[in-house]
Amino acid sequence: MLRYIIKRILIGIPILFLVITTVFFAFRLIPGDAARILAGDEAPIERVEQIRTELGLDRPVLVQYGAYLAGIARGDLGVSFSSRRPVAVEIGTRFGNTFSLALAAIGLATLVGIVLGVISALFRGKLADHVVTVIALLGISVPVFWLGLLMMQLFSVELGWLPAAGHGTWRHFIMPTITLSVFSIAFITRMTRSSLLETIAQDYVRTARAKGVRERLVLLLHSLRNALLPVTIVVGLRFGYMVGGAVITEEVFAWPGLGRLLILAVGQRDIPLVQGLLLVFATSFVVVNLLVDVLYAFLDPRIRHR
Amino acid sequence: MNLVRSLFRPILTFAADNKLAALGGLIVLLFVITGVFAEQLAPTDPNRVSVRNSLAPPGSPGFPLGADNNGRDILSRIIFGARVSLYISSVAVGIAGLIGVTLGIVAAWYRWTRGPIMRLMDVLLAFPGIVVALTIIAILGRGVENVIIAIAIYQIPQFARLAHGLALSIQEQTYVEAAVAGGESDAAILTRYVLPNIIAPIIVQISLLIPGAIMIAAGLSFIGLGVPPPTAEWGAMLQLSMTWGRMAPHMTIFPGLALMLVVFGFNVLGDGLRDALDPRLRGRS
């Protein structure tokens, strides 16, 4: 098991290194001059040069790259162009907000998705199955920002039940959590259904049936545990994307998280901040995938012995 | 007549087998027609400002779906918005498909390219689509062309990964071995033997990625970093409704409904096509 975990970590590190490198050089391809963009069109040339020196943009690209890598190793992600505060601080103060929202959303999505998926498989071909299938199809088709706006107009403006924006209390969590989880609910529902139906067709389930175990019990006890194995992968994948993928949900509900920070950073072309955020997003994706792989190997002995 | 019948019979059989997918196909067809013939279909100029009719409710004379804060006709803006969505998504997915499939096939055929190409794809796949798109916008700036490039780059790995997997199994086939033994050039083998045999799943992939492209394009406009105003675009219309929606709910409801309907149409059509092309998958989703 330990060997497996170490192997997985060794696969994850080069991907992060590649992400850092790709992102760094991609931003060096920008047509135009970062110092000029930052100073504004009207700024005198001296000001532009001053910014260039301050940010080290006058050094050769490879030197900048080496300095950037060395910085990351020390936890230094550079200084934000626009706020002039360290990128690590900007990200650190908002990370918790995005992480808690993503955690709530994936929790909700997993719970609802598995329940709907089981119902759908249990009543395969019946009305309940069709209803769940259509719900899942709508769930992957609904634009998240539209859903967010509709909920806001209904529950905040019309009914006054929930706060429209911001964060602080648990009531602020309700609408953003639902908005962020809808796509994943639909995804997990479909995955649970198909995985369960596939498992039911397996030999050991037939054996259980032949032994006379009651039908519903067969499904729940003998199939569900194995059927949920692939579902854990999907849950992990969705969660890994959620830390970065909350961009639009955060924008709708003015949620002070990393997604809104990214929109801000892109709008102002704050390159160090964008780079830092991308690194954090990629790291959460790689870490979550690592955890899921380890969990999977723990649950399914066939994997870790391969 | 015979030609027409032989052309339509498979479509009809498919539609009879899978009614939901047929509905999806119909929605997609309507979307394409709306986008192509926007001038003919729209009751008025989508950018005609009329302060007098600001926020006119649905059903007002001349405004079947109401007007926005500038008194612009919502229906006309939705119709022209279909054109923008159709244009961005088809060009973006087209570019992504061309580059992605090429990369995938090349990575499968030339072993030494596999590492670099597929690792680069892994890097892109470590991010959600909207984050990749936003990053490209940060590099290139705003505008329709840059939105197209941003979406194409996010979707290239989706095509590359699929094409790579498919090409790997096809090139093990005997007919490919025979072509190699027969001394045919690599280019001929890849375009004449490999590509035609992986094209069906790629077409399915196209129909499943277009809704993703439409959604990302609308999302970018919604956060103000996509198609610049005053272009009629569904995401941009929804952004405007964040300010005005509480006074005029029709500004929120109709553009979102159009967006959802089109995405839904592509999704069920894609699902249906996938099931039809690979019967083993039937009933799995």
DSSP state of B143: S
Instruction: Identify the three-state secondary structure at position B13.
Output: helix
What CATH number should be reported for the domain holding residue B125? 1.10.3720.10
The answer as to whether B59 is a domain residue is no
- Look-up: residue for tokens 């409801």? B253
How far is the C-alpha of A219 from the C-alpha of A214, rounded, in Å?
Answer: 9
The answer as to whether B1 is a domain residue is no
How far is the C-alpha of B82 from the C-alpha of B257, rounded, in Å?
Answer: 12
Distances (CA, A) of B58 to A152, A189, B246, B262: 21, 37, 15, 22
Q: Which amino acid is it at B260?
A: M
Gap from A275 CA to chain B (nearest CA, Å) = 9
DSSP state of B231: S
> Of A112, A124, A113, nearest to A187 (Cα)?
A113
Query: For B125, how many CA atoms within 13 A lie in the half-sphere containing its CB?
Result: 17
Count structural domains, chain B. 1
Tell me the average pLDDT of chain A: 84
Q: What is the pLDDT of residues B142-161, one digit of tens each?
A: 889 999 999 999 999 999 99
Q: What pLDDT, on the 0 to 100 scale, is given for residue A243? A: 81
Q: What pLDDT, on the 0 to 100 scale, is given for residue A146? A: 93
- Mutation for A interface: B118, B120, B134, B142, most A CBs within 10 A: B134
Choose among A138, A193, A262: nearest Cβ to B131: A262
Q: State the pLDDT confidence band at B283, using cuts at 50, 70 and 90.
A: very low
Q: Which amino acid is it at B53?
A: N
How far is the C-alpha of B251 from the C-alpha of B244, rounded, in Å?
Answer: 7
Identify the H or E element spanning A151: helix A144-151
- Contact assessment for residue A207 and residue A259, using Cβ atoms and an 8 Å cutoff: no
How far is the C-alpha of A52 from the C-alpha of A69, rounded, in Å?
Answer: 20
- The pTM of this model reads 0.88
Q: Which amino acid is it at A215?
A: E
Domain ranges across chain A = 87-304
> Of A198, A40, A192, A9, nearest to A116 (Cα)?
A192
Q: What is the pLDDT of residues A14-59, one digit of tens each?
A: 888 888 888 888 887 766 667 776 676 677 888 788 877 777 777 8
**Is the pLDDT confidence value at A219 over 70?**
no
How far is the C-alpha of A243 from the C-alpha of A103, rounded, in Å?
Answer: 9
Tell me if B137 and A248 make a contact (CB, 8 A cut-off).
no
Q: State the pLDDT confidence band at B279, using cuts at 50, 70 and 90.
A: low
Q: What is the pLDDT of residues A254-274, one digit of tens each?
A: 899 999 999 999 888 888 899
φ/ψ (deg, to 5) at A86: -60, 140
- Look-up: residue for tokens 């989880």? A181
Peptide bond into B230 cis (omega under 30): yes
From chain A, pick out residues whose CB is under 8 angstroms from the CB of B215.
Answer: 143
- Contact assessment for residue A272 and residue A77, using Cβ atoms and an 8 Å cutoff: yes
Percentages helix, strand, coil for chain A (3-state, rounded to 5) are 80, 0, 20
> Of A286, A67, A252, A124, nearest to B243 (Cα)?
A252
* Strand partners of residue B67: B73
Q: What is the pLDDT of residues A61-93, one digit of tens each?
A: 888 888 888 888 888 888 888 888 999 999 999
Please report the residues numbered 22 through 61 in chain B whose beta carbons come closer than 8 angstroms to any beta carbon of chain A.
Answer: none
Chain A contact for B120 (CB, 8 A cutoff): yes
- Look-up: residue for tokens 């998958």? B281
The answer as to whether B53 is a domain residue is no
Structural domain harbouring B203 = 72-277
> Which residues have C-beta within 8 Å of that of residue A111, sequence separation ≥ 6?
none
CATH match of A87-304 with 3.30.70.20? no
Gap from A224 CA to chain B (nearest CA, Å) = 16
How far is the C-alpha of B213 from the C-alpha of A197, rounded, in Å?
Answer: 31
How far is the C-alpha of B277 from the C-alpha of B10, rounded, in Å?
Answer: 12
Residues in chain B, how many? 285
The predicted complex's ipTM stands at 0.84
- Look-up: residue for tokens 């009329």? B50
The answer as to whether B146 is a domain residue is yes
Tell me if A143 and B122 make a contact (CB, 8 A cut-off).
no
Q: What is the pLDDT of residues A225-255, one digit of tens each?
A: 778 888 888 888 888 888 877 899 999 998 9
Q: Give me the DSSP letters along B18-52.
A: -HHHHHHHHHHHHHHHHHHTHHHH-SS-TT---GG
**Is the pLDDT confidence value at B100 over 70?**
yes
